């Protein structure tokens, strides 16, 4: 067993213990740190040398580190050397890889996105390919967490993948060269409806290049025609870098307006961020779409626009992450991502939802998470805590139980693969909804389609309970009649939820025939929140009323 790191740790402890004498007193922070470091070192030594089984000192100590950090908030984490690429992705929006995104579809680890211009796309990987081997190791749902480490790596190096394709009929091998992958933050931009003066922007992340991507897009669109309104879509955007969120706000807010304030442990750590340039888009009406997946930097942007009445916030309440993290490099290619501040919107409100200090003996003092009223520039009432509450609440979710089942079982995804390989040269523009719907139902009939609604399950439980307790036979017969009638009603769910079934089918096919951008575009006509945003932007009275403009 090698104890080089252990020796260094013990020496470090001795240095701390020597200097600890200069800070006497149980209430002195330095004394308490040195005392507990000494205890930690002794525990590590005793366990490593005397525990009944051999103990890996590295893993043992790191388990202790993770345990300590687990007593704080979930955003303060230790990042080991195997996750260096994750830090590069967070800070720079770059990583070494082949240009694919993977996900679980049914029981398979599947390629769900292929980025344009990178090795995977150039060598022919496709959406729907089932990954069964990477870098010589078998891949399954059980070890999906390891795939990232297997596929990512230094640009210029090679990785081997084996995939199944075409309803598992074909097994293909790929030797792919890793490249520097730059993540696109602005996944869609353009005028929509196409001949209108309304711009739709889908911002999916806040990595280093996000602001520049947005600037270039707006410049390009302004050169094409006048921009009179904008829908900025931050739904399911988990956030990213604080300074990038500030820079994006700078494109819309008047010069010298406060965007966000961060408050650290000491008043000396407080920072105020202002818009520093004239806005690129100062007059255009604006609607920002958010939902429960909009967090962190997304909430900074939405909160600044809301407090300054720059635009209407529409959708559902955001996630509620009002904590700021700083990444600190440590030794041995490791890092510590630590919460160092809280952020506050221009009106002074924190939107942090969860109070991690409750019943927590480790955190000695914290600002309480309490819902308190604040005012926007136009004297509208907004509240702290619990995320950003939209000015116009519009819920957009899958309504049908049947549709949710089809999504969960990846039937839309699998059918799109089946359709694509049966019709590789198909012209998507000629897609007929009725024929598509019929083809999909025929596809389900030939596969393991066993949908049972919650209502049907409840009736089955009643029948089973009645039989077990030997209730009246007539009651059991009546329950079976109800089940039969209910099943007939449920068969009509295909017609009841036909529109949302077609929405999912068309978007999956668009991804395969037209690419990921057009998948986003294809979903917009069916998007209830997007359509509500369009309605508000075309109704000046409704827009002004929501923002208290008179």
User: Which value, in Å, is the radius of gyration of the alpha carbons in the chain?
Assistant: 28
> Catalytic residue at 296?
yes
User: For residue 249, what are its two tokens?
Assistant: 């706000």
Long-range contacts of 335-340 (CB under 8 A, 24+ apart): 335/78, 335/79, 335/84, 335/87, 336/76, 336/77, 336/78, 336/79, 337/75, 337/76, 337/77, 337/79, 337/90, 338/76, 339/72, 339/73, 339/75, 339/76, 340/264, 340/265, 340/269
Distance, in Å, from the CA atom of 82 to the CA atom of 215, rounded to the nearest integer, reads 34
β-strand 198-203 against 94-97: which pairing, if any?
unpaired
Going by C-alpha positions, the residue among 188, 116, 167, 161 that lies closest to residue 413 is 167
| Cβ-proximal residues to 44 (8 Å cutoff; 6+ apart), any chain | 6, 9, 57, 60, 61, 64
> Catalytic residue at 321?
yes
Distance, in Å, from the CA atom of 277 to the CA atom of 251, rounded to the nearest integer, reads 8
> Catalytic residue at 478?
no
Q: Residues 204, 209, 229, 296: which is the catalytic one?
A: 296
| Cβ-proximal residues to 90 (8 Å cutoff; 6+ apart), any chain | 207, 240, 241, 327, 337
- Across 396-405, b (16+ Cβ under 10 Å) vs e yields bebebbbbeb
- Cα 251 to chain centroid distance, Å, stands at 24
Q: Residues 321, 337, 414, 519: which is the catalytic one?
A: 321
Query: Number of C-alpha atoms within 13 angstroms, CB side, residue 537?
Result: 30
Distance, in Å, from the CA atom of 16 to the CA atom of 18, rounded to the nearest integer, reads 5
Distance, in Å, from the CA atom of 161 to the CA atom of 136, rounded to the nearest integer, reads 8
Q: Residues 307, 350, 391, 507: which is the catalytic one?
A: 307
Distance, in Å, from the CA atom of 55 to the CA atom of 406, rounded to the nearest integer, reads 47
Distance, in Å, from the CA atom of 208 to the CA atom of 240, rounded to the nearest integer, reads 8
Say whether 278 sits in a helix, a strand or coil: coil
Partners of 231 in the beta sheet?
200, 287
Which residues are marked as active site?
Answer: 296, 307, 321
């Amino acid at each position: 067993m090698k104890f080089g790191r252990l020796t260094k740790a013990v020496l470090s402890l001795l240095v701390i213990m020597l200097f600890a004498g200069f800070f006497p007193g149980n209430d002195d922070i330095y004394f308490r740190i040195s005392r507990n470091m000494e205890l930690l070192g002794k525990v590590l030594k005793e366990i490593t040398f005397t525990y009944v089984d051999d103990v890996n000192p590295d893993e043992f100590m790191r388990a202790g580190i993770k345990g300590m950090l687990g007593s704080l908030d979930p955003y303060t984490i230790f990042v080991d050397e195997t996750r260096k690429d994750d830090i590069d992705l967070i800070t720079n929006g770059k990583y070494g890889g082949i240009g694919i995104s993977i996900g679980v579809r049914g029981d398979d680890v599947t390629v769900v996105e292929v980025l344009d211009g990178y090795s995977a796309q150039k060598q022919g990987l496709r959406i729907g390919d089932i990954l069964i081997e990477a870098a010589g190791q078998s891949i399954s749902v059980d070890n999906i967490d390891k795939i990232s480490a297997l596929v990512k790596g230094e640009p210029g190096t090679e990785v081997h993948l084996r995939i199944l394709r075409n309803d598992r009929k074909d097994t293909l091998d790929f030797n792919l060269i890793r490249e520097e992958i730059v993540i696109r933050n602005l996944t869609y931009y353009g005028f929509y409806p196409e001949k209108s003066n309304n711009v739709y922007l889908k911002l999916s992340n806040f990595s280093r290049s996000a602001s520049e991507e947005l600037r270039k897009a707006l410049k390009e669109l302004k050169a094409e025609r006048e921009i009179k309104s904008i829908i900025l879509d931050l739904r399911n955007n988990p956030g990213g870098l604080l300074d990038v969120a500030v820079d994006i706000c700078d494109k819309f807010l008047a010069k010298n307006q406060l965007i966000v304030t961060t408050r650290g442990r000491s008043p000396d750590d407080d920072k105020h961020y202002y818009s520093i340039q004239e806005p690129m888009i100062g007059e255009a009406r604006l609607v920002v779409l958010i939902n429960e997946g909009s967090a962190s930097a997304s909430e900074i942007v939405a909160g600044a626009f809301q407090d300054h009445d720059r635009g209407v916030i529409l959708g559902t309440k955001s996630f509620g992450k009002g904590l700021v993290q700083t990444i600190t490099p440590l030794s041995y290619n490791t890092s510590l991502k630590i919460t160092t501040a809280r952020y506050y919107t221009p009106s002074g409100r924190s939107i942090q939802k969860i109070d991690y200090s409750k019943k927590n003996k480790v955190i000695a003092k914290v600002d309480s998470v309490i819902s308190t009223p604040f005012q926007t520039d136009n004297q509208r009432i907004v509240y702290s805590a619990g995320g950003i509450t939209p000015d116009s609440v519009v819920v957009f979710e899958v309504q049908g139980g049947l549709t949710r089942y089809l999504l969960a079982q990846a039937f839309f995804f699998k059918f799109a693969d089946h359709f694509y390989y049966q019709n590789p040269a198909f012209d998507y523009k000629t897609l007929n909804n009725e024929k598509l719907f019929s083809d999909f139902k025929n596809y389900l009939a030939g596969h393991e389609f066993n949908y049972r609604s919650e209502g049907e399950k409840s009736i089955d439980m009643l029948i089973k309970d009645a039989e077990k307790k030997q209730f009246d036979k007539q009651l059991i017969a009546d329950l079976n009649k109800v089940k039969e009638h209910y099943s007939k009603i449920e068969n009509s769910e295909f017609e009841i939820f036909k529109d949302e079934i077609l929405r999912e089918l068309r978007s999956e096919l668009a991804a395969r025939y037209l690419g990921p951008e057009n998948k986003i575009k294809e979903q917009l006509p069916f998007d209830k929140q997007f359509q509500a945003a369009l309605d508000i932007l075309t109704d000046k009275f409704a827009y002004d009323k929501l923002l208290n403009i008179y």
